[in-house]
C-alpha cells in the first residue's frame, strides 16, 4: 500500500521499477541457466542488449516525465509537509530562517538549530507569531557529541524528524595562506562533518519507516573552485560527494521512500559573502532562494542549482581546454575579481 505522503512520480514509476528489477536479475549466469545451449559470450551480449533497450525505454520515459511535471501546476506535483517535523540547521538567520518560515507556512513543525541562541529564539518567535509551530535548540554543529545529545533531546521532546535540512555553513573569505588552522577545521566541521552527525542521528528512524527527506545545502562553489574559498569551496565539494553517495546507498538498499535533495545556490545575499560584487548576475534574494528550495524538496528533486541557468555553464569547465576555462572565468565572468572585495571573517 502506498504511503499517504508518496509522491505521484513514485507511483507512476512502479512498472519501470519492476522492469528495472528484472534487468538487475537478468545477469549472464541467470540467462545461461534459462538457455544453457547458448555460449556464455552470446548470453553476455544478449544481456547487454537487453540492458541497452531497457535504458532507452527508461530514458524516453524519464525525459517525458520531467517535461510533464515541469508543465503541471506545482499544487498537483508537490507532496504535503503538513504535520511533518522539519529540522533546519543554521536557522538563526539568513537562508535558514527563511526556510523555517516557508516550511512552517505549509504546516510543518520547525526544529531550529544554531549556535546563536538569540538568533534561534528570534526564528522561533517569528514562526510562532505567524501561527506556526517551532522549537529552538542551541547546538554547536562542530561538536559531534553535542549534535548527538541534542538529536536525542529532539526525538524525546518533538518526535522523529521527517525532513532534515543541513543548511548551516561558515565562510571565512581568506586566501589559503591567511587561513588559520582553526578556521580550516571549523569550516570542515560545520560545512561537511556536521552532515554526517545529523544524518547518522536521524536517518535510522527514516530507514525503519522507509520515509523521509535529507536536504544538503551545498553551493555553486562546490561545483567549481572559487578565489578566497580553498576551505569553503573544498568543503562544499565534499557535500556534493556526500549527497551523491548517500543517494546511491539508499537506492541500492531499497529505501525508495527516503529522498535526498542537493541544492547548489549561487551567492545568496545573507551577509556571508558581504563585499562580493558579481559581474554577470546579482546575488540571490534569500526569501526567493528559500521558496525555490522548498519547492524542490516538495517535488523530490535530486539536484538543484540556483538559478537554474547556471547548470548550462558548469559543463563548460570540463568541455573547454583548461586555459580557455580560466580565461572565461577571469576575463568574462570575473569571478576572482568579484571575490576580492569579500570582507574576511575573524
Nearest to 168 by CA among 150, 194, 203, 148: 194
The two beta strands, 85-89 and 109-114, are: parallel
**295: Cβ contacts below 8 Å, ≥ 6 apart:** 74, 78
For residue 27, what is the enclosing H or E element? none
Euclidean distance between CA atoms 77 and 96, whole angstroms: 24
Instruction: Starting at the earlier edge strand, list the strands of the sheet with 109-114.
Output: 133-138, 109-114, 85-89, 163-166, 212-217, 258-265, 303-306
For the record, the C-alpha cell of 185 comes out as 577545521
Question: What distance in Å separates the CA atoms of residue 168 and residue 159, rounded to the nearest whole number?
Answer: 22
Residue 309 has what DSSP assignment? Answer: G
Q: In terms of Cα–Cα distance, which of 63, 55, 67, 60 is closest to 26?
A: 55
Tell me the C-alpha distance between 137 and 118, whole Å: 11
Alpha-carbon torsion 242, 245, 248, 254, what sign? negative
Name the catalytic one among 137, 227, 232, 266. Answer: 232
232 catalytic per annotation: yes
CB 213 within 8 A of CB 98: no
Helical H segments across the chain, by residue range: 8-12, 14-25, 28-34, 40-71, 74-77, 94-105, 117-129, 144-157, 181-188, 194-209, 230-252, 286-298, 316-319, 322-327, 335-339
Alpha-carbon distance of 40 to 42, in angstroms, equals 5
Give the burial class of 29: count Cβ atoms within 10 A of its Cβ; 0-12 exposed, 13-18 middle, 19 or more buried: exposed
Burial class (CB in 10 A: 0-12, 13-18, 19+), 11: exposed
Catalytic positions, written as ranges = 232
Amino acid at each position: 500500500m502506498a504511503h499517504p505522503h508518496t509522491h505521484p512520480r513514485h507511483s507512476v514509476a512502479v512498472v519501470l521499477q519492476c522492469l528495472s528489477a528484472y534487468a538487475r536479475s537478468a545477469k549472464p549466469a541467470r540467462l545461461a541457466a534459462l538457455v544453457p545451449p547458448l555460449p556464455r559470450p552470446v548470453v553476455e551480449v544478449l544481456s547487454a542488449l537487453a540492458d541497452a533497450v531497457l535504458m532507452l525505454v527508461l530514458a524516453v520515459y524519464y525525459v517525458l516525465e520531467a517535461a510533464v511535471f515541469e508543465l503541471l501546476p506545482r499544487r498537483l506535483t508537490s507532496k504535503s509537509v503538513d504535520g511533518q517535523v522539519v529540522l533546519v540547521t543554521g536557522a538563526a538567520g539568513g537562508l535558514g530562517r527563511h526556510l523555517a518560515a516557508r516550511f512552517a507556512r505549509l504546516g510543518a513543525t520547525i526544529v531550529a538549530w544554531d549556535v546563536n541562541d538569540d538568533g534561534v529564539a528570534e526564528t522561533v518567535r517569528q514562526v510562532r507569531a505567524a501561527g506556526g509551530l517551532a522549537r529552538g535548540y542551541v547546538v554547536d554543529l562542530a561538536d559531534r557529541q553535542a549534535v548527538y545529545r541534542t538529536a536525542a533531546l529532539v526525538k524525546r521532546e518533538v518526535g522523529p524528524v521527517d525532513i532534515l535540512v543541513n543548511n548551516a555553513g561558515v565562510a571565512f573569505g581568506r586566501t589559503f595562506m591567511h587561513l588559520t588552522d582553526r578556521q580550516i577545521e571549523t569550516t570542515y566541521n560545520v560545512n561537511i562533518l556536521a552532515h554526517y552527525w545529523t544524518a547518522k542521528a536521524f536517518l535510522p528512524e527514516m530507514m525503519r519507516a522507509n520515509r523521509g527527506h535529507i536536504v544538503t545545502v551545498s553551493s555553486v562553489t562546490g561545483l567549481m573552485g572559487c578565489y578566497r574559498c580553498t576551505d569553503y569551496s573544498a568543503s562544499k565539494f565534499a557535500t556534493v560527494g556526500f549527497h551523491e553517495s548517500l543517494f546511491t546507498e539508499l537506492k541500492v538498499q531499497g529505501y525508495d521512500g527516503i529522498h535526498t535533495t542537493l541544492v547548489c545556490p549561487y551567492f545568496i545575499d545573507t551577509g556571508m559573502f558581504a563585499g562580493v560584487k558579481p559581474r554577470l548576475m546579482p546575488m540571490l534574494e534569500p526569501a526567493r532562494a528559500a521558496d525555490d528550495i522548498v519547492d524542490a524538496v516538495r517535488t523530490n528533486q535530486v539536484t538543484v542549482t540556483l538559478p537554474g541557468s547556471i547548470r548550462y555553464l558548469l559543463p563548460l569547465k570540463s568541455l573547454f581546454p583548461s586555459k580557455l576555462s580560466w580565461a572565461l572565468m577571469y576575463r568574462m565572468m570575473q569571478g576572482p575579481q568579484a571575490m576580492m572585495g569579500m570582507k574576511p571573517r575573524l
